Amino acid sequence: MTHEQGPVPAPGVRHRKRRLQYELIGCGLHGHSLVGTDAAQVRPGDALLVRETDDGMRWHRCLRCDAWLPLPAPDRPAVQTVPERHTIDLPLRGRPLRDRYVLRLIAVDRLVHFLVLGVLAVAVFAFAHERERLRGPFYRIIDAVQNGVGGPSGTGRHGFLGDLDKAFAAHTSTLWVIGAVVAAYALLEGIEAVGLWLAKRWAEYLTFVATAVLLVPEVYELTGRISATKILTLIINIAVLVYLLFAKRLFGVRGGGRAEEAAREHDMGWEALERVHPGPVRNGS
């Protein structure tokens, strides 16, 4: 048995560079994107997508990752020929596919923020509504716990107990305002999550502006008490800003929206498929 290379590529056709291929992730999650597996015959013009060997074996090209997969001809063909190009919906590949995964990762982060802030907003509203009824039982429980461990009775002015004491002392209107602000922030994060998941351009701008504005209080908090969580949150948000600004070319950076669309078209469409080596590697006698 010899290892035989498929047809020699035409001038200008190149192999894909070795790099992290998001296409392989997509195919691993959703399977290969093949066409013509149910066609009765393969025509010479279908060579970019399907090729048939002398022994009747067919090689089908994945439209996402460019892998060639050997499959037997169908016993009961559903169609006569391989579909025409204009009828085929090409899957995402290249930078558009990379952007989908990165944007959806950011969307998941925003979704977590939405859920946490939503729960916090509900808790603030509930506390504001039931504060007077909760005041007495709360202090009695705290006193019982502190006396049980040998601590002082009454409330402290520092730490968690001090924060709760301030909450019970705050005006009801102040608590409702705080709850409304937290709820609005949660809604903003939810809108960002949905827009980024759907890869909307407006969501990228919204996420950038919102993250940049909220970066100021995050940096200010580090001047007081530093924690690993605060540092990690700051690093994530800075990474999001850098990615959106430079990789997604917001605000005219690196050519702006036109350059972004041109880069997208470069990695999508039939021309992108034709630029990649079209020949399968097969075994022959």
Contact between 48 and 278 under an 8 Å Cβ cutoff? The reply is: yes
Identify the H or E element spanning 57.
Answer: strand 57-61
- Positive or negative torsion for Cα 117, 120, 124, 125: positive
Asked whether 199 and 99 are in contact (CB, 8 A), the reply is: yes
- Provide the residue ranges of all domains of the chain, joining segments of one domain with +: 34-89, 94-266
d(CA 73, CA 88): 20
Query: Is 50 exceeded by the pLDDT of residue 9?
Result: no
Q: pLDDT-based confidence at 157, cuts 50/70/90?
A: very low
Q: Does the pLDDT value for residue 151 go beyond 80? A: no
Which DSSP letter does residue 249 get? T
Distance, in Å, from the CA atom of 30 to the CA atom of 14, rounded to the nearest integer, reads 26
57-61 and 50-52 strand pairing: antiparallel
Q: Which tokens in the block code for residue 192?
A: 């960002």
Q: How far apart are CA 70 and CA 54, in angstroms?
A: 13
Q: How far apart are CA 142 and CA 154, in angstroms?
A: 8
Phi, psi of 4 (to 5 degrees): -110, 135
Instruction: Say how many C-beta atoms besides its own lie within 10 A of residue 284's C-beta.
Output: 10
pTM tops 0.85: no
Highest mean pLDDT among 6-15, 54-63, 95-104, 124-133: 95-104
- The pLDDT-based confidence of 4 (bands split at 50, 70, 90) is very low
Mean pLDDT, to the nearest integer, of 264-269? 88
Phi and psi at residue 69, to the nearest 5°: -115, 130
φ/ψ of 92, rounded to 5, equals -65, 145
The residues, any chain, with a CB within 8 Å of residue 93's CB and separated by 6 or more, are 23, 26, 63, 64, 65, 267, 268, 272
Q: What is the dihedral of CA 2, 3, 7, 12, to 10 degrees?
A: -140
Number of other CB atoms surrounding residue 272 within 10 Å: 15
For 277, the enclosing helix (H) or strand (E) is: none
Region 178-195: mean pLDDT is 95
| pLDDT for residue 124 | 86
